[in-house]
Amino acid sequence: MTKQIWLNLPVKDVAKAKDFFWKIGFSFNEQHDTPSSTCMVVGENNFVVMLFEEMLFSSFSQNGIVDTKSGSEVLISIDAESREEVDELAKKAEEAGGTVFAPPAESQGWMYGCGFADLDGHRWNVLFMDFSKLPN
């Protein structure tokens, strides 16, 4: 059956989106790049996030693109290895031109995280989870 899953996101400008994610620490498999798309890889298992210019994305989805200023199509969650990594990623996202909509903070007594929006308004959730503090 299914061997892989990847996420496709529309962006206004592939080069600017790639630069943003590069600045905050993500990497790319550039052999799959085209003038209107780029292949970002996330995590140890190299989860693929394809960034497509909006017109190309629309041709695939055959649907309109969500206005990320008024709604969210998805919340993308990634893990962090420490509270410090959460803080660092929030700072890098803001310095690269993103918006931190949820500053780093503790949640539910066992999670520490933040939320940021990239240049195109896609929302990302970064979490450090201390399972030793998880309530029974």
The pLDDT score that the predictor gives to residue 31 is: 92
Tell me, yes or no, whether 69 lies in a domain: no
Provide the residue range defining the domain that includes 32.
1-63
SS3 per-residue string spanning 25-71: CCEECHHHCECCEEEEEECCCCEEEEEEEHHHHHHHHCCCCCCCCCC
Check whether residue 59 and residue 84 sit in a common domain: no
Same domain, 59 and 104: no
User: Model confidence over 4-60: pLDDT tens digits?
Assistant: 889 999 999 999 999 999 999 999 999 999 999 999 999 988 899 999 999 999 999
The average pLDDT across 82-93 equals 97
CA distance 86 to 24: 11
DSSP 12: S
Q: How far apart are CA 93 and CA 88, in angstroms?
A: 9
Is 100 exposed, middle or buried, given 0-12, 13-18 or 19+ CB atoms closer than 10 A?
middle
CATH of the domain at 37: 3.30.720.120
**Residue 25 forms part of a structural domain:** yes
pLDDT of residue 15: 97
Per-residue pLDDT reduced to its tens digit, 110-133: 999 999 999 999 999 999 999 999
> Which pLDDT value is given to residue 4?
83
Distance CA 16, CA 118 (A): 10
Cβ–Cβ under 8 Å, residues 39 and 29 = yes
Euclidean distance between CA atoms 27 and 16, whole angstroms:
14
Residue 2 has pLDDT above 80, yes or no: no
Across the chain, what does the average pLDDT equal?
Answer: 94
Q: At 132, which CATH number?
A: 3.10.180.10
If DSSP codes are grouped into helix, strand and coil, which group holds residue 111? strand
**Average confidence (pLDDT) over 57-73:** 91
